[in-house]
A and B are shown apart, each in its own frame.
Chain A
Amino acid sequence: MIDLTVIWAAIIGFAIVAYVVMDGFDLGIGILFPLFKVGPDRDTAMNSIAPVWDGNETWLVLGGGGLLAAFPLAYAIILPALYAPLVAMLLGLILRGVAFEFRWRDPGHRALWDVAFTLGSCVATFAQGVTLGALLQGITVEGRAYAGGWWEWLSPFSILTGFGLMVGYALLGACWINWKAEGDLQRQAVRYASRLGIALLLVIAVVSLMTLTLEAQYYARWLAQPGVLVTAQVPLLTLIVTVMFYRSLKRQKDAQPFFWALALFGLCIAGLGISIWPDVIPARVTIWEAAAPHSSQVFLLIGTGLLLPVIITYTAWAYWVFRGKVGQDGYH
């Protein structure tokens, strides 16, 4: 008997991974944006993501919508618990989303919309990082509802994960620019990628160690015998991937550093999975407790099974249409 709840957990996990893979780099470009020279460099950076950002953000809507459909109880508890960071994220996404259009539409106020683009990207990223940290450190749940106050999410740990995610997305953004740009802008991006790589490793190390102290469940999951033999592979792989990342950067590869950086993110998400599985709200609510009834799971799974491959196909096609270096005048 196949457990549909597990399949749905995997689908939601996939949506989150897809979101981080795709929207991470375009939020990261927003974070790095003020460091790029006004004029052609900024236009190139913007042009490299203008055709795809909307599709990238749709995965966030699928994550939210999928959570409501497959785990309504988790949706109903998590969203009020993270009220302030989520509202901040939404407002940030508004600011940066409209900046794509408005900066072209109103050259007289381009500087203003560039600020909005950066501010929105930073706020949205920071808020997503805070959300992750707040969930890991645990939220107060009573019965079928959130029972904490409206500042419970705020802690040194959640602030750290907030800034940590900004470092991570900025790394993805720098690698994307390295892939898509040429000349000075590309060299600038390589410098940033090199420094951000080290910064991200530090963040990963500190967050990982702090996570072990948050809940007994996490500690046991990672360090109890004999599981430690498996879980120890994650930090080992992280080191290997980091070496590969710097090697590709040194050999002046275009695309490779981006994918090695994504691999680092993949390992972080795998580590997260090890910590919290099988909970949908870490250390509070399991996926089975929050699962929607069988009929809802089946009804949506049919469509998802049919549509997700199609969506991935035409999303890949849209990326393929805009492949290659952007150049100062748009795509070559």
Chain B
Amino acid sequence: MIDQEWAILLARVQFAFTISFHFFFPAFTIGLASFLAVLEGLWLKTGKGVYANLYRYWLKIFSIVFAMGVVSGIVMSYQIGTNWSVFSDRAGPIIGPLMAYEVLTAFFLEAGFLGVMLFGINKVGRKLHFTATCAVAVGTFISAFWILSVNSWMQTPTGYVMGANGQFLPGESWTAIVFNPSFPYRLVHTVIAAYLTTAFAVGGVGAWHLLKDRSNPGARKMFSMAMWMAALVAPIQIFAGDMHGLNTLEHQPAKVMAMEGHFESHPDGAPLILFGIPNSAEKRVDYAIEIPKASSLILKHDLNAPLAGLDTVPDEDQPPVGIIFWSFRVMMGLGFAMLGIGLWSLIARWRGSLYSSSPLHRAALVMGPSGFVAVLAGWITTEVGRQPFTVYGLMRTAESASPLDAPAVAISLLAFVVVYFAVFGAGIWYVLRLMKKPPEAHEAALDGTPVRTAGITPAPAVIEGADT
């Protein structure tokens, strides 16, 4: 490979690495912020201490995850320019305003109210504090709205005109840009994914503590709330995912062909390949286990509907099949496992064994990290499926990169890898350590250290009226 090709490959690896790491944090905080708002709202409404204790328990975890999300997010907002400057220049007039709107409507809102949410309960009173929690929760959602609009425009670009200088310029209406064809589906699918991720993380923690002590009221409450979420939202997510898939089939058929492993066209009903090993060199799936005509049934709602394969797409326009084929199956498998846990919890609840069924608790514990894996797998599916383009069908990844020397990118990649694993590794370790501690009846305020519990959020003042 020549130097320029190395530089682009390294830049892609760097982007994939930093965004994958970053995505874990908002995937958790979007759901967790809403969970915290619900907990505080229930506390204000019912006055029951268990909600206040759970609020403080999860707030400590939230504060760490949120900080990691902020700092890893700043990297993303600059990396588009440092490593993908040609893309920034050409797509800037379209995606720039959307990203700036994310800063104005979401980042400031979250950051402005986060300090009050974390440290301010004694200073502003409960109602205003609840408002701050809600503001942070709404901010996380608004943030998802804009950044997914940007991402969706790169997948299904609409509402632009080509400028003489090569830039994508906004056309008549910004509505056509913001609400591009894949955006509503991607937004719903991704936000639900964040909620499910949080539900299973919370459920896993609850299950862990129930396995040790079935009577812990905090563990019971968080497990019950998480399992309601799983039972209600997992089926909705599978439906939303199906809708998103049909939308992708309409606008990015090559991505769906790669997901399905359809190297060849099937004029009279395409099989659903459950498993197999994609062989891109020979353009076939080895050892395939397939259900005849089922893919046509799912995608076209007709057993005999013809489905085109990758043989209809020029080689240079095809995404890499192997990665997408596998990541899609990982996401699907986990989605159905989540549905299974949700149904299982409903049965256990109906039988009255929700808090005593060890097999259910073990299964929920194993599924604790499933949301993170599923979110990442789904993200890989849609992003790798966009290749070899940055703006789908219009601008290639190879022509989007900055004019950088390969050694510069290599060194920065190495630095990101070292710092991310050290810093975020430590952060994740602290989160796990907090999760390991059972929720207590007198859960300490944000910090166990005397400095802040006694000062910024005195424990007695917060716990007032909060006993179970």
Contacts of B107 in A (CB 8 A): 58, 61-62
User: Can you list, as one digit per residue, whether each of A53-91 has a CB less than 8 Å from chain B (1) or not (0)?
Assistant: 011011011101110111011011111100110110011
Residue contact A83 to B67, C-beta cutoff 8 Å: no
| Contact in complex: B88, A68 (CB < 8 Å) | yes
Contact A58 B111 (CB under 8 A): yes
Say yes or no for B17: interface residue by CB 8 A criterion: no
Q: Does chain A have a CB within 8 A of B48?
A: no
Task: Confirm or deny: A311 has a beta carbon within 8 angstroms of a beta carbon on chain B.
Answer: yes
Known: A76-B86, A331-B455. Is A299-B97 also a contact (CB below 8 A)? yes
Q: How distant is the Cα of A87 from the Cα of B86 in the complex, in angstroms? A: 18
CA distance A164 to B454 in the complex (A): 39
Query: How far apart are the CA atoms of A78 and B402 in the complex, in Å?
Result: 11
Q: Does B383 contact A (CB under 8 A)?
A: no
Contact B64–A52 (Cβ < 8 Å): no
Q: Pick the contact of A58: B64, B108, B124, B430 (CB < 8 A).
A: B108
A65 touching B115, Cβ below 8 Å = no
Q: Which residues of A contact B78 (CB under 8 A)?
A: 64, 79, 86, 90
- B465 on interface, CB distance cutoff 8 Å: no
Of A145-153, A200-208, A246-254, which binds chain B?
A145-153
Is B108 a contact partner of A315 (Cβ separation < 8 A)? yes
CB pair A329–B454 under 8 Å, yes or no, is yes
Query: Nearest-CB distance from A328 to chain B (Å)?
Result: 7
Interface residues of A in 68-122 (CB under 8 A from B): 68-70, 72-73, 75-80, 83-84, 86-87, 90-91, 93-95, 97-98, 100-102, 104-107, 116
Complex contacts, A61 vs chain B, CB 8 Å: 73-74, 77, 103, 107
B104 near A62 with CB under 8 A, answer yes
Q: Tell me if B456 and A331 are in contact (CB < 8 A).
A: yes
Contact partner, B451, options A47, A293, A322, Cβ 8 Å: A47
A51 touches B115 (CB 8 A): yes
In the complex formed, the residue of B with least CB distance to A104 is B447
Within 8 Å by CB of B81, from A51, A64, A91, A106, lies: A64
Q: Does A295 contact B (CB under 8 A)?
A: yes
Residues of A within 8 A of B46 (CB): none
Are A98 and B67 CB-contacts (below 8 A) given A51-B119, A104-B452, A315-B108? Answer: yes
Distance A38 CA – B383 CA, assembled complex (angstroms): 47
Instruction: Find residues 67-107 in chain B having any chain A CB closer than 8 Å to their own CB.
Output: 67-68, 70-75, 77-83, 85-86, 88-89, 91-97, 99-105, 107
The winner among A50, A105, A300 for most chain B CB atoms within 10 A is A105
In the bound complex, do residue A292 and residue B74 qualify as a contact, i.e. CB atoms below 8 Å apart?
no
Beta-carbon contact of B119 and A330 below 8 Å: yes
Given contacts A299-B170, A331-B456, contact A322 B404 (CB under 8 A): no
- Determine the chain B residues whose CB is within 8 A of the CB of A55 once the complex forms: 108, 111-112, 114-115
Q: How extensive is the interface on chain A, given as a class?
A: 35 or more
Task: Give the docked Cα–Cα distance between A95 and B70 (Å).
Answer: 12
- Contact, CB under 8 Å: B96 / A68: yes
CA distance A52 to B73 in the complex (A): 18
Contact with A along B400-414 (1 / 0, CB 8 A): 001111011000100
Instruction: Enumerate B406-453 residues with CB–CB distance to A below 8 Å.
Output: 407-408, 412, 415-416, 419-420, 423-424, 426-427, 430, 434, 447, 449-452
B103 touches A65 (CB 8 A): yes
- CB neighbours of B357 from chain A (8 A): none
Q: How far is the CA of A139 from the CA of B81 in the complex (A)?
A: 16
Do the beta carbons of A87 and B415 come within 8 Å of each other?
yes
Q: How far is the CA of A62 from the CA of B74 in the complex (A)?
A: 10
Contacts of B75 in A (CB 8 A): 90, 94
* A304 contacts partner chain B, Cβ-Cβ < 8 Å: yes
A-B contact pairs, 21 of them (CB 8 A): A47-B455, A52-B115, A55-B111, A61-B103, A62-B103, A64-B78, A68-B99, A83-B404, A83-B412, A87-B82, A90-B78, A93-B74, A97-B67, A97-B70, A98-B68, A104-B449, A144-B89, A295-B169, A321-B120, A327-B455, A331-B119
8 shortest interchain CB distances as A-B pairs? A330-B455, A72-B92, A51-B115, A69-B96, A79-B81, A329-B455, A76-B89, A330-B456
Interface residues in chain B, defined as those with a beta carbon under 8 Å from any beta carbon in chain A:
63-64, 67-68, 70-75, 77-83, 85-86, 88-89, 91-97, 99-105, 107-116, 118-120, 123-124, 163, 165-167, 169-170, 174, 402-405, 407-408, 412, 415-416, 419-420, 423-424, 426-427, 430, 434, 447, 449-452, 454-457
